[in-house]
Amino acid sequence: MNGKEWWARYSNDVHGVGQGHEHYKKMRLNYAKLPEVTLSAFTEAGEPESSISVLNQRNYTGRDPVIPSSLADTPCICLGVEGLLAKLNTILGTSYNLEIHSLSSLLRAYILKDYDFGTAFSRLRPFWYNDLTDIQDKLHTREVWDRLMRQDVLVNNKIISRLLPPRRVWDLYSNRVIPWWVARQYPSAISHAWMDKEDRMNVQTPINGYEWPAPMPKDANLDLIRIEMLNLGAEYVWLDVLCLRQVSEQRDDLHLDEWKLDVPTIGRVYRMAHGRVVCYFSGLGRPLSLKAGDFESDTYWFRRAWTLQEIQHRMVIGGDTGDDRITEKEMRMRIEIQLSWLRENKSVGGLGMPVFIALSEMQRRVSTNPVDKVAGLSYLLWTDEIPTYYILCDAVSRGSVDGTGRRDKCSSPCGSRGTLEERQCWVVGERLPGETFKKLSVFMMDNKKEVKRLHDLGIATNTKTFLA
């Protein structure tokens, strides 16, 4: 299977919005009739509203079926089948009964699986205003199809389509991380630069079912971030610490397996978020507050390698405190100028960023692993195929490229200028001690003007190297 064949088979699932536009419209009309719901920093995080400096994190009021965390955390077994259905009817404004066999059977299954109410609510809500007689079959079919889609996109250790949707999304209404196949809606996205290790902590949370600890700034709170995103109009959100499996002692095999696909295709999430990317420049969920020296820090958003692929038009600045002091205005203006330049250059040439701009910008950025720069570039340059992160990263792939223990580098001395064919294969890598070279990625470029600009920028050089 190639990329076009993969897209022909799975495009309806990838691009389809939920169960179709008409169903989505019907769902929104029903939501508009529901009573107002209010969440506050005090009820959700135990913090007085007056102590929260980010205005959008203080409280949320709206008619969408948003449930408090206390209800989301309630085990289904405590409600029983009848109580579970009664809660769902009340929240969603319906009057279903247990005579719908498929529904009653599913509710009993959720109790046996020890689900909490938030998990059950997140899986049922997208189907609630539709025909429920075959809801079990629909969920099962979606799950199987999603698994096949992710298997088929990986061919010979390469990702054959960059159009792969995210594996998980954060459902803000239920406050639960759910599989993509449940929602099938492209989420809003949160962009942020990670804090230094000493400034963050690992948080175990029911939001992701305690599957892995979420690395968070010590002074940030996921429930407050949820309130802010609800105020910004989001229903589903992609946030790396919740939706991208993080390193933990539990199920490390799953972490390695998922990262093969999920890390190289992160850029797709931000591209499909359109004007719904929220950026925290001072750290995830933290108030926007920058000093002059922060712009040169390695943790600054514009200095990080991963954030280059996350830049989109009409990005929203998160953590707004409403501070109108001159210094804050100056910092905000500086951010806007930097964003504007990058957005302008990212749109040049249509789908991908021009090679010389992408490489020049990435060269100025920093990353935890050098290979992260290559992974970030792979999506930006819009190549037909993307190398898996397992292949790319020595650290993640346990120092092996093909599982046999052979490192992806040449053992011959790095020589002088060689001959270039008409279609040029460019190798991205790093020169190692002992005149050896470690190859990280390969891409093709046949535009001679672009090639010349790479050389003029001092980014590229011609060397005669044999990759053994």
What are the pLDDT digits (tens) for 225-255? 999 999 999 999 999 999 999 887 766 678 7
pLDDT(130) > 70: yes
User: What CA–CA distances, in Å, run from 391 to 349, 374, 405, 407?
Assistant: 29, 11, 12, 10
For residue 444, is pLDDT > 70?
Answer: no
The angle formed by the CA atoms of residues 233, 234 and 239, to the nearest 5 degrees, is: 145
Say which DSSP state 304 is in. B
Q: Please, what's the b/e burial string for 188-198 (b: 16 or more CB within 10 A of its CB; e: otherwise)?
A: bbbbbbbbeee
Q: What is the mean pLDDT of residues 262-279?
A: 88
Cβ(63)–Cβ(31) below 8 Å:
yes
Residue 277, SS3 per DSSP: strand
pLDDT, residue 277, reads: 92
Tell me the CB-side half-sphere exposure of residue 20, using CA atoms within 13 A. Answer: 5
Distance CA 195, CA 244 (A): 17
Count the Cβ atoms, other than its own, within 10 Å of residue 300: 18
Predicted confidence band at 398 (pLDDT cuts at 50, 70, 90)?
A: very low
Q: What is the mean pLDDT of residues 127-149?
A: 91
pLDDT tens string 385-394: 787 775 444 4
**What is residue 194's DSSP assignment?**
P
The domain locations on the chain are: 3-32+62-147, 156-350, 409-456
Tell whether the model's pLDDT for residue 406 goes beyond 60. Answer: no
- Split at pLDDT 50, 70, 90, the class of 411 is very low
In whole angstroms, what is the distance from residue 94 CA to residue 89 CA? Answer: 5
Angle between helices 101-112 and 117-124 (to 10 degrees): 150
Instruction: Determine the pLDDT at residue 280.
Output: 93
Give the pairing of strands 188-192 and 236-238.
parallel
DSSP 379-447: HHTT-SSEE-HHHH-TTTTTT-SSSSS--SEE-SPP-------SSEEEEEEEEETTTEEEEEEEEEE--
* pLDDT the model gives residue 314: 78
Position 36 confidence tier, pLDDT thresholds 50, 70, 90: very high
> Is the pLDDT assigned to residue 43 strictly greater than 50?
yes
Residue 26 burial (10 A CB sphere; 0-12, 13-18, 19+):
middle
User: What is the per-residue pLDDT across 70-119, written as a single tens digit (0 to 9) for each?
Assistant: 999 999 999 999 999 999 999 999 999 999 888 999 999 999 999 999 99
Burial-class residue 445 by CB neighbours within 10 Å (0-12, 13-18, 19+). middle
Q: Where are the beta strands (DSSP E) in 230-355?
A: 236-238, 277-280, 316-317
How many CB atoms lie under 10 A from the CB of residue 463?
13
Quote the CA–CA distance of 268 and 186 in Å, as a whole number. Answer: 10
Report pLDDT for 63. Answer: 96
pLDDT score at 359: 73
Instruction: Give the residue-averaged pLDDT of 119-135.
Output: 92
For the ranges 116-130, 247-261, 279-293, 393-407, which has the lowest average pLDDT? Answer: 393-407
Q: Which of 68-77, 151-160, 168-177, 348-357 has the lowest mean pLDDT?
A: 348-357
Average pLDDT of the segment spanning 438-465: 60
DSSP assignments along 27-57, one per residue: HHHHHHTSPPEEEEHHHHHS--GGG--SGGG
- Residue 255, judged by CB atoms within 10 A of its CB (0-12, 13-18, 19+), counts as middle
Pick from 126, 123, 247, 235: nearest CA to 189: 235
More confident residue, 373 or 189: 189
